[in-house]
């Protein structure tokens, strides 16, 4: 034993980190996803754990592989699906899953239509996802409390069994709105305990939404004029006060409508020369034309 | 008499880990992996029964090994089980390789049969002892 300690090689954490290729992917996550502090923190923690686990294994310290089933809860448009799609990539680079593939399903893909149809269907999906990540969107639909003969229960039981017995073979990520997922977990206590990571996606602040808007525009080769940027930040403030606000999805819809108006404006000024710049720029008018402003004012007056 | 067929027939039986590696190789090449079984070991019997469905869209050996375990639950020690990899690319459209992964506990072997025809001429054929019994109760 004494010999062991004397000759034990020093473990180079820095080199292991470099080798794993996790650094770039965490950086990419940082730059491409705005906000989402708790989510990024948890991903960092998981990355650190897996890296340390690998080092421990290299020096002969064995331990059970960690359970990485996750549940993402949050309001609409907070990035649950986007992060899940990245998760497969992250876990693959960390060497936790064998292949970099994500199988994305909803209730329809798991639950059958008649007796005896559900089990093979669910098993087929689980086998398809093996080696990678199974992402269940709107997972709370699996359980329908109002119908006790619903086949969803059967799918849930099969999934629980596979999640437990084959946790080295696949990672299950469930996503859904916070309140309904809570209800889902209350009626299926087995799920809550088998999922190690419950990650809550917070709502975005107004500043973050503006950043997201600019990121989205950049991806599509558009940009705001300075006045449009101010107008959009006012727009977001007004939109957030209205009902059915769904974070990044509302931003995307607003931008789509602004693009429509920009296209109309350019179309109506035909006869003039149009530059590349004109094609790229969204003006303040296109944002201010939204009926959200009027609606927000009306709502404010009513209160 | 230990019957050998297909790829790796000169090697001892593969372990599960080795089977997994072979399956991963087939999946990496985009070949559909199938599990087949039979209780008629005659070498000319090429069409074995298919277990479940052809596994075109599984990306990981774990899924095939899961099915293999299911198949073994039913047929272990009672039939031959093999894994084959089917390549559907144009011009190939055939099995790339197959190997036996499980066999009955007792393999009685084959008899040589002689049939006298046309005077002193003889025709030869082989017959598996196990096929003396009806299908389903051979091993």
Q: What does the pLDDT look like over A200-243, one tens digit per residue?
A: 999 888 888 998 899 899 989 998 999 999 999 888 888 888 88
B135 part of a folded domain: no
Give me the mean pLDDT over the A193-203 stretch.
Answer: 88
* Residue of chain A whose Cα is closest to the Cα of B54: A124
Counting the structural domains of chain B, the total is 1
Assign A6 a pLDDT band (cuts: 50, 70, 90): low
pLDDT at A9: 64
pLDDT at B18: 95
Distance from CA of A32 to the nearest CA of B (A): 29
CA-nearest of A66, A97, A69 to A199 is A69
Q: What does the pLDDT look like over A41-72, one tens digit per residue?
A: 888 888 888 888 888 888 888 877 788 899 99
- Return the CATH number at B55: 3.30.190.10
Among residues of chain A, what percentage have pLDDT more than 70?
96
pLDDT at A53: 85
Assign A4 a pLDDT band (cuts: 50, 70, 90): low
User: For residue A127, which residues of chain B lie inside 8 Å, CB to CB?
Assistant: 55, 58, 63, 66-67
Do A103 and A192 lie in a common domain?
yes
The residue behind tokens 């070991």 is: B41
User: For residue B59, which residues of chain A lie inside 8 Å, CB to CB?
Assistant: 99, 101, 128, 130-132
* Residue of chain B whose Cα is closest to the Cα of A123: B63
Contact A49, A66 (CB under 8 A): yes
B74 part of a folded domain: yes
Residue B64's domain comprises: 16-107
pLDDT at A303: 67
B44 part of a folded domain: yes
Q: State yes or no: pLDDT of A11 exceeds 80.
A: no
Q: What does the pLDDT look like over A74-102, one tens digit per residue?
A: 888 888 888 888 888 888 887 788 888 89
Q: What does the pLDDT look like over A112-139, one tens digit per residue?
A: 888 889 999 999 999 999 999 999 988 8
The Cα B99–Cα B78 span in angstroms is: 17
Do A133 and A219 lie in a common domain?
no
Tokens of A33: 């996803």
Tokens of B101: 């992964």
Instruction: Give me the residues of chain B with pLDDT under 70, please.
Output: none
The Cα A236–Cα A226 span in angstroms is: 16
Do A180 and A226 lie in a common domain?
no
Contact A81, A64 (CB under 8 A): no
**Residues facing residue A270 across a β-bridge:** A272
Do A195 and A52 lie in a common domain?
yes
The residue behind tokens 């790229």 is: A280
B7 part of a folded domain: no
Do A26 and A123 lie in a common domain?
yes
Do A152 and A250 lie in a common domain?
no
Sequence-distant (≥ 6) Cβ neighbours of residue A292 within 8 angstroms: A235, A238, A239, A242, A254
B130 part of a folded domain: no
Positive or negative, the CA dihedral A123, A104, B89, B26 is: negative
- Return the CATH number at A238: 1.10.8.60
**What size, in residues, is chain B?**
139
Contact B21, B35 (CB under 8 A): no
The CA angle B10-B14-B20, to the nearest 5 degrees, is: 135
pLDDT at A1: 47
Nearest to A169 among B57, B60, B67 (CB): B60
The Cα A206–Cα A240 span in angstroms is: 8
B4 part of a folded domain: no
Q: State yes or no: pLDDT of A3 exceeds 60.
A: no
Q: How many CB pairs under 8 A join A and B?
A: 32
CB within 8 Å: B67 and A99: no
Please, what is the average pLDDT of chain A? 85
B21 part of a folded domain: yes
Residue A293's domain comprises: 206-302
- Return the CATH number at A132: 3.40.50.300
Distance from CA of A233 to the nearest CA of B (A): 46
The residue behind tokens 């002689």 is: B114
Helix (H) or strand (E) segment spanning residue A162: helix A152-165
The CA angle A278-A281-A282, to the nearest 5 degrees, is: 125
Sequence-distant (≥ 6) Cβ neighbours of residue B52 within 8 angstroms: B35, B67, B70, B71
Distance from CA of A131 to the nearest CA of B (A): 5
Strand A223-224, strand B110-117: pairing: unpaired
Q: State yes or no: pLDDT of A148 exceeds 90.
A: no
Do A147 and A115 lie in a common domain?
yes
Counting the structural domains of chain A, the total is 2
Distance from CA of B61 to the nearest CA of A (A): 8
Do A41 and A190 lie in a common domain?
yes
Q: Which of A201, A226, A241 is the last residue of a domain?
A: A201
B133 part of a folded domain: no
CB within 8 Å: A128 and B62: no
Contact B137, B45 (CB under 8 A): no
Residue from B21, B54, B59 whose CB has the most chain A CBs within 10 Å, to mutate: B59
The residue behind tokens 């609409």 is: A76
Do A118 and A9 lie in a common domain?
yes
pLDDT at A171: 92
Q: Which of A201, A217, A232 is the last residue of a domain?
A: A201
Q: What does the pLDDT look like over A150-176, one tens digit per residue?
A: 888 889 989 998 888 888 888 999 999
B137: number of Cβ within 10 Å: 9
Q: Which of A180, A201, A222 is the last residue of a domain?
A: A201
Do A37 and A71 lie in a common domain?
yes
Do A280 and A138 lie in a common domain?
no
Do A181 and A242 lie in a common domain?
no
Strand B110-117, strand B121-128: pairing: antiparallel
């Amino acid at each position: 034993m004494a010999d062991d300690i004397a000759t034990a090689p020093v473990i180079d954490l820095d080199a292991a980190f470099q080798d794993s290729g996790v650094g770039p992917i965490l950086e990419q996550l940082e730059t491409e996803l705005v906000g989402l502090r708790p989510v990024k923190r948890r991903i960092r923690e998981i990355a650190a754990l897996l890296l340390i686990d690998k080092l421990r294994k290299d020096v002969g310290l064995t331990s059970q592989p960690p359970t990485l089933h996750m549940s993402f809860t949050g309001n609409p448009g907070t990035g649950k699906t986007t992060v899940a799609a990245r998760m497969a990539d992250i876990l693959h680079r960390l060497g936790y899953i064998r292949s970099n593939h994500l199988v994305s399903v909803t209730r329809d893909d798991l639950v059958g239509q008649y007796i005896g149809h559900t089990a093979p269907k669910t098993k087929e999906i689980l086998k398809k996802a093996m080696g990678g990540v199974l992402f269940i969107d709107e997972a709370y639909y699996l359980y329908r409390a109002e119908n006790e003969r619903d086949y969803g229960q059967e799918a849930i039981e099969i999934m629980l069994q596979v999640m437990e017995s084959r946790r080295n073979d696949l990672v299950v990520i469930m996503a859904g709105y916070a309140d309904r997922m809570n209800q889902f977990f209350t009626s299926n206590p087995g799920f809550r305990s088998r999922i190690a990571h419950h990650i809550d996606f917070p709502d975005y602040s107004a500043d973050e939404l503006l950043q997201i808007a600019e990121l989205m525009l950049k991806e599509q080769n558009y940009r705001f004029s300075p006045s449009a940027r101010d107008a959009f930040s006012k727009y977001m403030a007004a939109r957030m006060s209205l009902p059915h606000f769904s974070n990044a999805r509302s931003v995307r819809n607003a931008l789509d409508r602004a693009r429509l108006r920009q296209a109309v404006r350019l179309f109506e000024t035909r006869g003039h020369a149009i530059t590349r710049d004109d094609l790229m720029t969204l003006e303040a008018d296109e944002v201010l034309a939204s009926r959200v402003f009027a609606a927000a004012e009306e709502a404010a007056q009513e209160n | 008499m230990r019957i050998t067929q297909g790829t790796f027939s000169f090697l001892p039986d593969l372990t599960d880990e080795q089977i997994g590696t072979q399956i991963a190789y087939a999946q990496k090449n985009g070949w559909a992996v199938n599990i087949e079984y039979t209780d008629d070991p005659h070498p000319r019997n090429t069409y074995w029964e298919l277990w479940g469905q052809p596994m075109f869209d599984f990306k990981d050996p774990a899924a095939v090994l899961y099915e293999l375990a299911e198949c073994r639950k039913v047929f272990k020690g009672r039939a031959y089980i093999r894994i084959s990899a089917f390549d559907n690319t144009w011009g190939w459209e055939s099995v790339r390789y197959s190997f036996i992964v499980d066999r009955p506990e007792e393999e009685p072997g084959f008899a040589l049969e002689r049939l006298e025809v046309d005077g002193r001429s003889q025709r030869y054929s082989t017959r598996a002892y196990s096929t003396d019994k009806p299908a389903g109760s051979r091993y």
